[in-house]
Chain A
Amino acid sequence: MKTGFSVFAAAFIALGLSWCGLVYAPIQQLGGTKQTVVLQSSDKWPMQRTGDATLGLQVYRANACAACHTVQIRQTGVVHTLSITDLGVHKAVDFKAFMTSLMAVPELMKCSNSIVGSLNQWNGSVPKLLFSGEESAMVSMLGDKLKAVGVKTEARVETTGADIARGWGLRQSVAADYLYDTPVQLGSLRAGPDLANLGVRAPDVNWQLQHLYAPRSVVKSSTMPAFRYLFSVRKVGAQPAPDALALSKAFAPSAGFEVVPTAEARQLAAYLTSLKANVPLYEAPFTPITATK
């Protein structure tokens, strides 16, 4: 580089290219995102939070909860699965032989061994997972064949991944989940568990408040710092306050005192219980488990 200008030009072009690619392009693509629709439904996603929960996001930010908690689920794969839900007139004992004959077609040959093998010692309890893999043609073909002989099957799309197996969520987090977050608090360290689906796992606001005041009273092995400054310890009046925390002896204040959450603690608990990511979207599909009415 001979002149200062050429150094400046090289740096300008290099940083300019990455500005275009990693700042400008994402803003164009994702910055104008609107609400999307839940897969195969007309429900909108995401729902706006309540007032308390919106303020709770600011409490989350002010106390830097994102330093130890993430709010994003990762997913490593997705599979089609086929399960038997009703054997119909068939019996479990002769089903294995029946399946072997059913799968003696060229398209189904390649996984016939694993499917037939999984039927060893099957006692007939349903639902029974038959196939789990990426080929949807396999699933529909097998499903049709079984339907033709009166066996009811269910084809599902299921997500796979360590976070999902651990029960932290049902699908990966996508951009639509963070539409109403300002600022977005993704987090980068899991010193504590992931919170993306916390509102489904721990929907009780009182549990959240107790956990914030004395984490080790609800989770023995927790290393989370206690956030006692979000609560006020005060003398019990004529009657205990309706929102006073019910703490076990080791964590309760001295006799005649009660622990009452401040507005910030209530807002934070409202925010935490509003964290949900349990609906399928077009970009993160899965077959939801519908509750039978």
Chain B
Amino acid sequence: MSDENSSCCNLTGSEPTATRSSAPMWIIVVTLSLLFFGGLYLDSHSGWFDAKVYAPYNSAEKLEVFQPKSGTAAAMARGKGLYEGVCGICHGSDGAGKAGQAPTLAASEWVTAISFNRLAHIPLAGVNGPMKVAGKDWNMAMAAMGAALPDDDLAAVLTYIRTSWGNNASAVTADDIKKIRAEIGRSPQAYTVEQLKVLPE
């Protein structure tokens, strides 16, 4: 007869039973020690459940360390974002200005001057009165749009406009802005062109 029948005869109808004995101590000890070492691993690698911490960063502090500091590349990206939020509305995202609103920044001698001193005064204090920009005459009033920006943000914006759209002037640092702000004082009057031309180059 087939194996099924012979194994059938082995089973004299009794269902299987289990011996009553407990788990050996060694496996309980191993489990507890694995729990401990696993806990250490969780502590060191989980970033403590922070939503922004991804492996290979093991903690929020390590993630912070690796954020790129302001180098020229980073400042460019930052300056662009800030420019488009603050200045681009009137001066255009392509820096070409808008007729009746704001003069061009691209190929503007005010922007590309070797010294940024006169340029920096404009967003910090404002400018009004007749002004010649890139061969065109303008007679509008600009408020101190950059006065509310912190030093490094304004520096990033000025660096951006001095190096974009064909402009090729030097960068502006936060320290420079800080010095100029200290010179101007708290609530300066808007400059006229004559007053700007008096400023040192």
Binding site for B on A (CB under 8 A): 29-30, 38-43, 75-78, 80, 136, 140, 154-157, 172, 174-175, 280, 282-290, 293
Contact = CB atoms under 8 A, between A and B. Distances in A.
B84 A42 contact: yes
A80 B66 contact: yes
A156 B78 contact: no
Interface in B71-107: 71-74, 76-78, 80-82, 84-85
Contact of A78 (B56, B69, B76, B81): B56
Interface stretch (B32-40, B110-118, B162-170): B162-170
A41 B160 CA distance: 12
Contact of B81 (A41, A80, A290): A41
A175 B51 CA distance: 9
Contacts of A38: 77
Contact of A136 (B53, B66, B81): B66
B74 A40 contact: yes
A290 B72 CA distance: 9
B56 A75 contact: yes
A29 B54 contact: no
Contacts of B81: 40-43
Contacts of A282: 52, 63, 67
Contacts of B82: 42
Contacts of A77: 56
29 contacts: A39-B77, A40-B68, A40-B74, A40-B77, A40-B81, A41-B81, A43-B81, A136-B65, A136-B66, A154-B71, A154-B73, A155-B71, A156-B68, A156-B71, A156-B73, A157-B68, A172-B54, A280-B68, A282-B52, A282-B67, A283-B53, A284-B54, A285-B63, A285-B66, A287-B73, A287-B74, A288-B73, A288-B77, A293-B164
Interface residues of B, number: 30
Contacts of B51: 29-30, 175
Nearest to A161: B56
Interface in B133-187: 163-166
Interface string B27-64: 00000000000000000000001011110110000010
A265 B63 CA distance: 41
Given A42-B84, A172-B54, A293-B166, A287 B67 contact: no
Contacts of B56: 75-78
B111 to A, nearest CB: 14
B71 A287 contact: yes
A285 to B, nearest CB: 5
Which 6 residue pairs are nearest across A and B when measured between Cβ atoms? A42-B81, A41-B81, A283-B52, A40-B78, A287-B68, A157-B68
Contacts of A43: 81
A94 B110 CA distance: 41
A217 to B, nearest CB: 39
A264 B67 CA distance: 41
B67 A285 contact: yes
B71 A39 contact: no
Contacts of A157: 66-68
Nearest to B70: A40
Contacts of B66: 78, 80, 136, 157, 285
Nearest to B72: A154
Contacts of A293: 163-166
B80 A283 contact: no
Contacts of B53: 283
Contacts of B70: 40
A288 B74 CA distance: 8
A140 B68 CA distance: 11
A174 B66 CA distance: 16
A78 to B, nearest CB: 5
Contacts of B65: 136
Contact of A283 (B54, B71, B84): B54
A284 B67 CA distance: 9
Nearest to B74: A40
